[in-house]
Amino acid sequence: MKKKNVVLLSTRTTHHFFFINQLSKISNLSVVFEENLFKPKIKTKHNYEKKQNLFEKKKWFNNKKIKISKNIKILNVKNINNTQTINFIKKKNPDIIFSFGISRIKDKFLNKLKKNIYNFHGGDTSFYRGLDSHLWSLYHNDLNGLKVTLHLIDGNLDTGNILIKKKLNLKNSKKLYQLRLLNTELCVKIAKDFLNDPKIKKYKQKNIGRYYSYMPKELKNIVNNSYEKKIKKIYNDNK
């Protein structure tokens, strides 16, 4: 089967680099990296995130340099909504455009591009939109919200038609710092499924979830400290 031409809009992080490497194996991939993301005014950094990066580096990159294939065409932009991004996409003429971990795509950008963009959202958009969705789900003791949603971008935040929604398998995730790895690997699987069948039927969201912003450090501490007990309870209840 001929590989599809794909453009990914993303950022330079460990988990996105892993996703890019996996996606490049099954597509002719080009990437636009957004560099100037919004920085919150509140304190959000938590120690578990350092463990998260180390865990991912060991699992995915064998503790070697975190890098992507040199064969991938890359564009670096300060803001994803600029004209450079549009021109790059039009030049590549992709079959599919994915986004993963970028700032909001504006209506003006979509109107000029005139192509569908499919976004990977780490969360259930019917209940948790915006940022840190898995963390907010955990904060509300809603383990059912630990999903990945592939949806169409429509100019609003995480309100577009849904193509695929799958639950995370938490069985091998005893610590919070392991959760992002599961999320990313599920995104890879969903991307493969969609590339194999891009005509998957879309459906309108029956319920539009509440929008959440960055989770403060103090609340992350609560989520981190309670995560292991929550996961143990799931599997004890299912025995």
Question: Tokens standing for 72?
Answer: 């991938």
pLDDT for 171:
84
Q: How many C-beta atoms surround the C-beta of residue 160 within 10 A?
A: 23
Mean pLDDT of 118-139: 98
End-to-end alpha carbon distance in the chain: 42
Name residue 147's amino acid: K
Query: What pLDDT is stored for residue 236 in this prediction?
Result: 64
Task: Assess whether pLDDT exceeds 70 at residue 235.
Answer: no
The Cα–Cα gap between 27 and 217 comes to 38
Average pLDDT over residues 217-236: 88
Strand 96-99 and strand 147-152: the pairing is: unpaired
Average pLDDT over residues 31-56: 95
Model pLDDT, residue 38? 82
Full DSSP string of the chain: -PPEEEEEEE---HHHHHHHHHHHTTEEEEEEEE------SS----THHHHHHHHHHHHHHTTS-----TTSEEEEESSTTSHHHHHHHHHH--SEEEE-S--PPPHHHHHHH-S--EEEESS-TTTEEESSHHHHHHHTT-GGG-EEEEEE--SSSS-SPEEEEEE--GGG--SGGGHHHHHHHHHHHHHHHHHH-TTPPPB--SSPPEEE-PPPHHHHHHHHHHHHHHHHHHHHHT-
pLDDT in tens, 80-125: 999 999 999 999 999 999 999 999 999 999 999 999 999 999 999 9
* Res. 238: pLDDT tops 60: no
Say if CB 231 and CB 172 are below 8 A apart: no
The chain-wide mean pLDDT, for the chain, equals 95
For the segment 168-193, what is each residue's pLDDT rounded down to a tens digit? 999 878 999 999 999 999 999 999 99
3.40.50.12230, 3.30.870.10, 3.40.50.150, 3.30.2320.50: CATH of 4-237: 3.40.50.12230
Structure tokens at 169: 């398998």
Q: Mean pLDDT throughout 28-51? A: 94
pLDDT at 21: 97
**Distances, alpha carbon 87 to alpha carbons 29, 112, 118, 197, in Å:** 16, 10, 18, 27
Query: In the prediction, which pLDDT does 2 show?
Result: 87
| Residue owning tokens 């990437």 | 31
Nearest one of 12, 69, 14, 11 to 184, comparing CA atoms: 14
